[in-house]
Amino acid sequence: MGKSIGFKKIETAIFISGTGSNLNNLIKFSLQKRSPIKIDLIISNNTNAKGLRFSKSYKIRKKIYDFRKKSNSENQVLKDLKKNQIKLICLAGFMKILSNNFIKKFKGKILNIHPSLLPKYKGLNTHHRAIKNKEKYSGCTVHYVNSNLDSGKIILQKKVKISKKDTPNLLKKKILKWEHKIYPKAIKKVLSNL
Ligand code: GRF
């Protein structure tokens, strides 16, 4: 009596291949008192991913698999996820395509962030392509992962104006700031609907 009702943060794994600015941002988000997630595991296909340094600084377990033998690596990852009771997967600059079999096992529990206004500009080099096509706007999208690349149901999207001076690199930086805002929001949205 009189005690506040505790809530349990959802065990989450983040998959990365590179810099990890979204990873860092999601870790900070997870550390907020009322955050709905707790990050227990970082998975990468790339030993040299810069973002892996956050494993050490935040004391979060990391696992690296090369994914060249995809089904072997995925089976190992599935074991790791089970061992750590992972309930939610957030892809954050993860450059490998997960198999149907893997996705089925985490149906509706895998999110991705993509730097374009999906369904436009799926795949790589989004900023370069948007500028080249003289788009007025680009942006970023958080979506569920399904078996087609960058095609799952959209959860949240932010439109960002492309200015005449924008190079792909400037646009990337501009959009990345918004990615850091919408990914936590999208996670809250998804988890409040569970
Ligand atoms: C982001 O632009 C994300 O949208 C895309 O890959 C990039 C990863 O950046 N999927 P970072 O590693 O989180 O800094």
The whole-number average pLDDT for the span 50-77 is 97
CA 66 – CA 50 distance, rounded (Å): 16
CB 175 within 8 A of CB 115: yes
Q: Would residue 114 show up in a list of annotated catalytic residues for this protein?
A: yes
CA 76 – CA 65 distance, rounded (Å): 8
The per-residue pLDDT for 67 is 95
**Which ligand 1 atom is the nearest neighbour of the CA of 91?**
10
CA 3 – CA 103 distance, rounded (Å): 39
**Which ligand 1 atom is the nearest neighbour of the CA of 21?**
14
Does ligand 1 have an atom closer than 6 angstroms to the CB of 139? Answer: no
CB 11 within 8 A of CB 85: yes
pLDDT at position 1 over 70:
no
- In this structure, what DSSP letter does residue 72 have? H
pLDDT at position 170 over 50:
yes
> Beta strand 137-144 with 110-114: parallel, antiparallel or unpaired?
antiparallel
For residue 155, give both structure tokens.
């959860």
- Give the distance (Å) from ligand 1 centre to CA of residue 7: 30
Catalytic residue, chosen from 114, 127, 143, 180, is 114
Q: For the whole model, what pTM was predicted?
A: 0.96
